[in-house]
Amino acid sequence: MIRLLQIDSSARPGRSGEQPHGAHTRRLSARFVRRWQSLRPRDAVTCRDVAATPPTPVTGAWVHAAFTPPGQREPWMRDTLAESDALVDELIAADLIVIGVPMYNFGMPSTLKAWIDNVVRVGRTFGFDRSRAGEPYWPLLAGQGKRLVLLSARGDHGYEPGQRLAADNHVEAGVATPLRYIGIDAVERVAIEYDEFADERLQASIAAAEAEVDALVHRLANLAAARRAA
């Protein structure tokens, strides 16, 4: 069984094509999960909406608690880390992490950044030992076969590698880099562009992205079936 973790981060609560002013990223993430379940109905799906329920931003108390060895933590420290522990547990349990992430001012929504800050955690998702020779940091989720799928939407166009605004795109790298740091280094990406233009170019971009999502679902489902058969 493959376990999916679906994360939505758009401030828009609905899906484009279904609700007025709905989110393109929610449209893509819902399509991905729906298509996946049609092919693999027994797989488990956990949904987390970080826009509707934003994770608590990291504070000084959180940092103090996280870097205190578990056996030495006071009750307030365990309480401070309880939400982070739940988010980390969800991530550790997942095989496929599907994140809908719109571009806000060239980067990800602040609520998704808060989620990342809660799950990139010393002792839980990465290790640290200052006395270790060479690299003192190491990923704790490496080698588990986890895969990240980033489904984005942008108001303008030309943000892909080699295009006119590629250097201004801090979305995919902003999500993928910290998750690669903890060991999730297989990344897929699909994006809708031209949202602010709201013309035939947007419609063509939506259609192309949906076709990419469908093809990606089939490819990853076939990969999962092949691994099980091996």
List residues forming the annotated binding site for FMN.
10, 103-106
User: H helices then E strands: how many in the chain?
Assistant: 7, 7
Binding site membership: which residues? 10, 103-106
Give 181's contacts (C-beta < 8 A, 6+ positions apart).
Answer: 120, 126, 137, 139
Neighbours of 113 (CB within 10 A): 19
CA-nearest of 58, 46, 56, 39 to 7 is 46
> What is the rounded (10 degree) CA torsion for 222, 204, 106, 215?
0
Q: Which two tokens stand for residue 204?
A: 């063509």
Give 60's contacts (C-beta < 8 A, 6+ positions apart).
Answer: none
> What is the rounded (10 degree) CA torsion for 55, 56, 60, 61?
-110
CA dist 197 and 157 (Å) reads 10
Give 227's contacts (C-beta < 8 A, 6+ positions apart).
Answer: 145
What is the identity of the amino acid at 165? Answer: L
Q: Which two tokens stand for residue 171?
A: 């979305």
